[in-house]
Chains A and B, each alone.
Chain A
Amino acid sequence: MIDVAITHRLPPARGAKGKGFKIDVSFATEDRTLVLFGHSGSGKTLTLQAIAGLMRPREGRIVINGATLLDTAAGIDIPARDRGIGYVFQDYALFPHLSVRKNVEFGLGAGRRASVAGNEDRAMTGGASGKQRVDELLELFEIDHVAQNLPGNISGGQRQRTALARALATSPRALLLDEPFSALDPLLRVRMRKEFTRLFAHFDIPAIIITHDPDPWCCTRTAASATA
């Protein structure tokens, strides 16, 4: 279950006229996959950043699968590192100095585990050690043969799969995808979309996807819009 309600106001850019930017978004769904529609500049990315804890909205409430990540009225604001939210950035944000394998491993460091309630069902492959899990992910995403390469030396599709594998390695409670296909050419886009559908079925993880693709997914969708 995903329940998000946030409002935020950004001051106008220096020298610009107008009232600045106001974002006021709320949505709730029982579905596994939620698609965020909207014009560019309508605050979709800001909404994802708020859910991930990278941006603090002025007020609001974010509950994912029963875990309250943010509730300004109750003074709850879990830091990003403890939210357990997988985030696939629009440009993938792969660490350019680390190999594909080290990228996927990054979140598996010792001492990490969210202190938030509701984590029990998050283990993807019960009992598997970190190394095994990384091996499985590399194989599943078909990037095992480029595991030692730096992200700058692999293809766009491989980069995207690396970003997704890295986000899923930590067994997040939800996955956020910011325009996952915008950086791919049309042919690859169709293929990756099919692959994603298969992978989401495999991982069974709630996901919020940003897109302005008119005919996006075969999955359940709920449109939400922000006001500018």
Chain B
Amino acid sequence: MDFLSALFPQSPLFAADTLRVSVILLTLKVAGIATVVSSVLGILTAWCIARRPFPGRTWVDALCALPLVLPPTVIGYYLILLVGRRGLLGPWLAEFGINLMFSWEGAVVAATVVVFPLIYKSARAALEAVDHNLENAARTLGASEWKVFLRVSLPLAWRGILAGVMLAFARGMGEFGATLMIAGNLPGRTQTLSLAIYSAFQAGDDAQALALVIVTSLLCMGVLILADKLATGGLSFGRGA
């Protein structure tokens, strides 16, 4: 059931089209999984790097932020070198029956890499802003480093981290270049919103393209508003005088 055609039965823009719903669902699935995976990796990486200086920290930090500035096609190319059929890990993955090329899982990998810096950067800034005395107090109370992280650092930094996570989800929904390189543009299989818009536009189906553009814009607006609500409506800690 296409909810848009139900809402606007007269409009040719939103004519029933089951493919379009599947495009939206696939986009949400790919961006959602990529955001979850990237959140775990990004927060843990930020924690390791924020804790103390070590030789080469600047280089590791730059590497983690690199997908932010690299053209997505370059990221896609690196990923093909890595997980392509003849790539570095491709044959090894194939032994487990995993093929990332031209599959929606490949789109997840592409989006995960692309959104990683957004989460890593905001998580690192948020974790470094936590008062070190609070972490030290937890240590003198017998807390392991893991407990310090879970009970003190993470709860105090979650707001800043959440902002990055939401941004990452919105960015993941719009991922185009790296996804196209690794997962292709297969309608019903790997075609996400931004790819479908491009295809519709190329095919001269302007109504379809405009409908998808509006859907994408609304989804992204929704994410940003939700992020704001979560950040301001959540817990607020009174600061000690």
Contact = CB atoms under 8 A, between A and B. Distances in A.
Contact of B239 (A79, A96, A106): A96
A84 B134 CA distance: 17
Contact of A81 (B134, B144, B152): B144
Given A54-B136, A97-B155, A106-B151, A91 B143 contact: no
A53 B137 CA distance: 11
Contacts of B143: 81, 106-107, 109, 112
Contacts of A94: 137, 240
A106 B140 contact: no
B131 to A, nearest CB: 7
A209 to B, nearest CB: 16
Interface string A53-84: 11000000000000000000000000111111
A156 interface: yes
A93 B131 contact: yes
A132 interface: no
Contacts of A84: 142
Contacts of A114: 142
B3 interface: no
Given A96-B237, A109-B147, A81 B142 contact: yes
B136 A80 contact: yes
Contacts of A12: none
A137 to B, nearest CB: 13
A86 B156 contact: no
Given A81-B139, A107-B141, A109-B147, A151 B240 contact: yes
B240 A96 contact: yes
Residue of A53, A91, A95, A166 most packed against chain B (CB within 10 A): A95
B238 interface: yes
Interface residues of A, number: 36
Contacts of A166: 141
Contact of A159 (B140, B155, B240): B240
A79 B143 CA distance: 11
Contacts of B241: 156
A54 B141 CA distance: 12
Contacts of A181: none
A80 B140 CA distance: 5
Contact of B137 (A87, A109, A159): A87
A87 to B, nearest CB: 4
Given A81-B143, A82-B142, A107-B142, A89 B237 contact: no
30 contacts: A49-B136, A52-B136, A53-B139, A54-B140, A80-B136, A80-B139, A81-B143, A86-B140, A87-B136, A87-B137, A89-B136, A93-B131, A94-B240, A95-B134, A95-B152, A96-B134, A96-B156, A96-B237, A96-B240, A97-B237, A106-B141, A106-B143, A106-B151, A107-B143, A112-B143, A114-B142, A156-B241, A159-B240, A167-B141, A170-B141
Contacts of B144: 81
Contacts of B239: 96, 152
Given A93-B133, A167-B141, 20 more contacts: A53-B139, A53-B140, A80-B136, A80-B140, A81-B143, A82-B142, A83-B140, A91-B133, A92-B240, A93-B134, A93-B136, A95-B137, A95-B152, A96-B239, A109-B143, A112-B143, A150-B237, A151-B240, A156-B241, A167-B140
B224 to A, nearest CB: 25
A94 to B, nearest CB: 7
B126 to A, nearest CB: 14
